[in-house]
Amino acid sequence: MNHPEAIAFDFDGTLIRGGWDKGVHILISAYTACRECGFSEYVRPEHLERDLLRMARAYMNYMGSPRFQQLSAIVNALLHDVPTAVEDPAQLGLDAVHLERYEGVRQRYNALYSELNDTAARLFWRPYPSAKETLARLAPEFDLYIASGVLQELLDADLDRHGFDRNLFAGIWGSSRTGGMDKGEILVHIRKQGYREVVFCGDSNKDCEYSRRAGVRFFRIRHDASYRELLDSARRREWPPDPEPWEEGPELASFLIEKARRPLRALIEGHPMTAEAISQWINQ
């Protein structure tokens, strides 16, 4: 602890633009993995529209959460129309055969999701123009952290890829592959170091909820101009009142469904789109 106050940042959608793309990637990866790894009876082509809706609802309950938590919510929604995550796959109500196959679904989903993210990162995702400068201006006065739901090794790779200066941070923490250490736990860990004030900057309603539960302040990043407001608040040590968690809303749901539909139709029809074609389609 070098300063009496700390500011933590979510990564995707907060320091990096393009938060909504990831949701589409999640839907495509989960559906594809189910179809290819022994869960095809749960994703029948004639139910595509219903399944898109169920997946979107499940995802929106877990925006910004670790990827395997998102997967379990989606599978639960596809199987039982229950859009909530489970701690353990055994709670998904699967028979022994499917329970064993679930590991394959997880692996395929994980690989595909990473591939889609890597492609989009290469082609489209960039830091908000003011993000790096804001970090550099805050660092002399606050302890800075990253608290992300992204897997730690991917977070580290992303930071380097986008040229963030690691020396500006007192801690850079992502989630672990086993599922532990979500953003909420990271924030509690930061708070427990005894800061006078901890502010978490995030983009999703889940981030807002994590802050509340961890007992830290929340600052919402919506666009590049949010960074100017952040500097302003930080300079005056006056933070806007914590917003109520908000509904991500029908606009996001239709984006997810519209953008996932075409790649999934192509998959069903036997001519799957490449990761690059999917990325172009989402960002066009």
CB of 203 to Mg ion, least distance (A): 4
* Sites for Mg ion among residues 210-239 (CB under 5 A): none
- Report, in Å, the least distance between residue 62 CB and Mg ion: 12
Which span (81-89, 122-130, 202-210, 271-279) binds Mg ion, by CB under 5 A?
A: 202-210
Residue with Cβ nearer Mg ion (22 or 108): 22
Among 7, 8, 10, 144, binds Mg ion (CB under 5 A): 10
Residue 244, number of CB atoms within 10 A of its CB: 9
Residue from 45, 49, 42, 55 nearest 93 by CA: 42
Task: Please tell me the distance from the alpha carbon of residue 265 to that of residue 268, in angstroms, as a whole number.
Answer: 5
- For the CA atoms of the chain, what is the radius of gyration? 19
Quick check: 126 and 43 in contact, CB under 8 A? no
Binding residues for Mg ion, how many (CB under 5 A)? Answer: 6
Residue 175 host element (H or E)? strand 169-175
Contact flag: residue 23 with Mg ion (CB under 5 A): no
Closer Cβ to Mg ion, 22 or 106, answer by number:
22
**Sign of dihedral through CA atoms 209, 214, 218, 220?**
negative
Among the listed residues 6, 8, 12, 264, the single contact to Mg ion using CB under 5 A:
12
CB neighbour class for 249 (10 Å; exposed up to 12, middle 13-18, buried from 19): exposed
Residues 58-87 within binding reach of Mg ion (CB under 5 A): 64
Q: Out of 6, 8, 13, 279, name the contact with Mg ion by CB under 5 A.
A: 13
Among the listed ranges 2-10, 29-37, 88-96, 158-166, the one in contact with Mg ion (CB under 5 A) is: 2-10
- Burial status of residue 246 (CB atoms within 10 A of its CB: 0-12, 13-18, 19 or more): exposed
> By Cβ distance, which residue is nearest to Mg ion?
13
Least distance between Mg ion and beta carbon 149 (Å): 7
Q: Report the interface residues with Mg ion, using CB under 5 A.
A: 10, 12-13, 64, 203-204
